Amino acid sequence: MWVYLTQPLLLFLEVGFPFGLLVPGGDTLLLFLGALAGEGKLALFPLLPLLFLGAFLGHGVGYGVGRWLGPPIRRRFSPELVRKGEGLLARFGPFALLLAPFGPGLRTLVPLLFGALGFPLLPYLLLSALGSLLWTQGLVLFAYFLGQRLPAWLLWLGLILLALLPLLARKRRPQG
């Protein structure tokens, strides 16, 4: 039962608070949980609604923190991440909330930026609910169906390599 409660809490912390950048990656977590469900080790219900709830509530808290702290919140993030977040907002406007959950760091930054910029609450809640739904349910169900169709060793090898990909990308990036 604890696995059903701790995982949504991790998503909530990652999405809702500036220190969410330090919480292990939500994408990898969702894929692992979906693979476990595909192997029959976890049940999709209550997993899916709880994961959605954790992400959605995290978005709400992130917005509230951004609203409360205002524009100075931007100084707490690296300039590169702020540029990425602002670029996403400039390019996609409110629909950035649908894309942000799929970007590590952006899922933490974008709710704070929306709050700091004073984006209207009701449209924010609607779009963040849809973004949370697409992200949590989409990744879990994708891995769930793979878990039912692929041999376990192949699926887990692929997920481990996927989890290591960001680390490998960081090592290859030129310093300076």
Render pLDDT for 148-170 as a digit per residue (tens, 0 to 9): 988 888 988 888 887 777 667 66
Contact 49, 91 (CB under 8 A): no
Residue 74 has pLDDT above 90, yes or no: no
CB 130, CB 100: distance < 8 Å: no
User: Which residue ranges make up each domain of the chain?
Assistant: 2-172
DSSP state letter for 43? -
Stretch (H or E) spanning 59: helix 44-69
> What percentage of the chain reaches a pLDDT higher than 90?
42
Mean per-residue pLDDT of the chain: 86
Q: What is the pTM of this model?
A: 0.85
* 50 Cβ neighbours under 8 A, 6+ residues apart: 4, 5, 7, 8
Residue position matching structure tokens 């894309």: 99
The mean pLDDT value for 20-49 works out to 87
User: Token match 């080790």: residue?
Assistant: 41
